[in-house]
Each structure stands twice: as structure tokens, then as C-alpha cells.
Amino acid sequence: MTVSDERSSPTLRRKWLGRRLRELRKAAGLTAEQVAEHLLCSEAKISRIETGHRPASLRDVRDLLVLYKVKGPEREELMSLAKAAREKGWWQEYGHIPYAKYIDFEAEAASIRNYESLFVPGLLQTDAYALAVIQGTEPDVSANEVARRAQVRAKRQALITRADPVRFWAIIDEAALRRQVGGPEVMRDQLRRLLATRDMPHVTLQVIPFRAGVHPAMAGAFVILELADPTVSDVVYVENLAGDIYVEKSHQVDRFAKIFERLAHLALDPDDSLALIEQTLKEH
């Protein structure tokens, strides 16, 4: 990965920088405590920098590289990475976003697996459908705020429309096709958008039909994010009325992965799923 990799988020850049600084510290034969004494800071600060939980100031990075005797092109590369790690993600231009942490993780993803029980996945929503969802689920939010959030949702879709798209595998319940969101015309346009995924080889779309009965994810939607950096664990995102939940422990992530595999087995294959969507479009 390079500093100029526009797919990466500030979080991922901090992790890359922190991991490299940790490697350099160990190569120099220094402990975190010794480095902290040199920088006149706490050992906890060094730990947070190396784990990517805290953005390192350019001065700190400069001093660390001097301490580790890093020079030449490697120093320039790491200083550039330090600058990039302090840049804001595109979504931060929109001010406070309730799910900004999720967007940060999403920007790091190499592949995304998404199960939705009630709505069409955000990455596949039309503008009108997205507006209707936000207005319906958060009726107290102002019109300007609704429009702002819809803009962010639309911009996120670049993940699957850009030249080097992420792999996106969506499994949706048939209920998401049948539920009237925004009225018949909005739903017809939305179903047409889903049908257009047949021309997107990096997108896999499956539908769990009503006849499949009860399944392991009846409790609600979730997203599995496989991050581009193989040294960083996958993340599961679950959204509910009580707030957002991020699952990062490997055994818990594996549980969601197995559930997703089960859902894929219960769902119609991609061709039959598109056929069901076409039939539903006729009924709308």
C-alpha cells in the first residue's frame, strides 16, 4: 500500500504508520518505555501511536525517525504517510455523521458481505429510496439533515462503481422487496437498480424467499467488512435502536461469517434472485 492509495481511510493510514514505527523501534532495540523517556511523554502515548489508536503529530514522527536512525527515501515515505494519516476522510466534510466510524471501516474494506432483512442495502439504494428510508426511520430529523445524510449515502456508493470496486455480496430478505418504501414509483426504480447489478461482476445479490422460513439472522441486519490490510482483523457491524455495535474478536466474527454462509445456502442463487426481483417489479 502507498500513501497515495485513495481507497485507504485515515484510520488505516494510522495503523500502517504505527505498525512500521513499532517495527523500527524493535529493530533499534528499544522498548516503548525508553522511547517515551526520549520523547518526554507517557509509554501509553507510544502504545496508542503504534496501534493506530492515536494520530501521531508530525513532530513526534520526525523525532522517532531520528531516534531510529531512519534516513533517505524511507524517511520521506514515512513522513508523507504521517501527513496522510492526519487528513480527514471525505465524509467528515459533511460534519457529524451518526455512522462515521462505520464509513471509516467501510473505506478500508476489500470486500463487504451485507445481510439486510427489511431494507435494500445502502450501497444499492437509489436517491429517492434513501431519502424515504431516512425520513421514515428518523421522522424528527430536519429536512436539511435528511438531505445531508442521503448525500453521504450516495457518495458511499463509489465503493462499488469506481474503477477498482470492492467485492460486494448482499443477501436480502424478500420482505425488503415487498415493503413499500416511498411509494410504488420509488420501489419500481429501486428494483430496477437491483436488476442492474447483473452487469456488475463484483456484486453478488441473493434473495431469501419467504418460503425459506425461519433462518439464523431473523434478529436483524449485519455487515462483515474484510479489510484491505491482511494484518487487521475483519469487523462486523450491527446497527440497532440502542446504537451501533462493532464486533472485532475473531471467534465472534467467525460466528457471523458462518451465519452468512448459512444464509447464502438458504437464499436463491443470483439468477433466481434476479428473476424474483423481476417478478416483484411487475407486481409493483
In angstroms, the CA 274 to CA 101 distance is 32
pLDDT for 67-89, tens place per residue? 999 999 899 989 888 887 777 66
- The proportion of the chain whose per-residue pLDDT surpasses 70, expressed as a percent, equals 93
Does CATH number 3.40.30 belong to domain 90-283? no
Q: Does the pLDDT of residue 5 top 60, yes or no?
A: no
The per-residue pLDDT for 3 is: 41
Q: Copy the grid coordinates of residue 23.
A: 517495527
In angstroms, the CA 116 to CA 126 distance is 16
Q: Does the pLDDT of residue 202 top 80, yes or no?
A: yes
Burial of residue 145, with CB atoms counted within 10 A of its CB: 0-12 exposed, 13-18 middle, 19 or more buried: middle
Structure-model confidence comparison of residues 100 and 247, the more confident one: 247
In angstroms, the CA 130 to CA 153 distance is 8
Tracing cell 455487515 back to the chain, one arrives at: 223
Q: Copy the grid coordinates of residue 211.
A: 418460503
pLDDT for 99-139, tens place per residue? 777 888 888 889 999 999 999 999 999 999 999 999 998 88
Quick check: 281 and 195 in contact, CB under 8 A? yes
Which part of the chain is CATH 1.10.260.40? 10-85
Lowest mean pLDDT among 31-35, 90-94, 127-131, 224-228: 90-94
Average pLDDT over residues 218-226: 94
The per-residue pLDDT for 224 is: 97
Structure-model confidence comparison of residues 173 and 9, the more confident one: 173
Average pLDDT over residues 212-235: 89
Quick check: 178 and 280 in contact, CB under 8 A? yes
Quick check: 107 and 9 in contact, CB under 8 A? yes
Contacts for 57-63: CB closer than 8 Å, 24+ residues apart: 58/82, 58/83, 58/86, 61/17, 61/21, 63/38, 63/39
Tracing cell 501509553 back to the chain, one arrives at: 44
Tracing cell 475473531 back to the chain, one arrives at: 250
Task: Report domain 10-85's class.
Answer: mainly alpha
Which part of the chain is CATH 3.30.870? 90-283
